[in-house]
Amino acid sequence: MVDIELPEIVGEEFFQLIPDQRAYINRMMREGVISNYSLSTDRNKLWVVINVISLAEVRHIVARFPIFYYIRYTIHDLLIHDSSDATMPQLWLN
């Protein structure tokens, strides 16, 4: 899990990156690389659960965030991450 601190004061440059950030996150979620992406109500923290084997892969994914140069992050290696989504079968529309 990646614990991300967002900047307290953001400028127009940061806001312009948000659509690209969402597109990247949505793509990673569709591919199953990111399973959870949560933003705090005060918009100062993000929590991202990334499903990969190594810490190097986590760093690589986070480094590709469009907002990367505006954040500070800490990686927490999880042993277990239960989610109610994991018990529901995923629907595929053909």
Q: Is residue 94 part of a domain?
A: no
pLDDT higher than 60, residue 87: no
Q: Is residue 62 part of a domain?
A: yes
Q: Is residue 69 part of a domain?
A: yes
pLDDT higher than 60, residue 86: no
3-state SS assignment for residue 41? coil
Residue 30 domain boundaries = 2-87
For the segment 31-70, what is each residue's pLDDT rounded down to a tens digit? 999 999 999 999 999 999 999 999 999 999 999 999 999 9
pLDDT at 79: 73
From the list 91, 71, 79, the residue with the least C-alpha distance to 7 is 71
Q: Is residue 92 part of a domain?
A: no
Mean residue pLDDT of the chain comes to 90
Number of folded domains that form the chain = 1
Q: Is residue 10 part of a domain?
A: yes
CATH code for the domain of 26: 3.30.70.1060
2 and 72 Cβ atoms separated by less than 8 Å: no
pLDDT at 88: 56
Q: Is residue 54 part of a domain?
A: yes
pTM, full prediction? 0.82
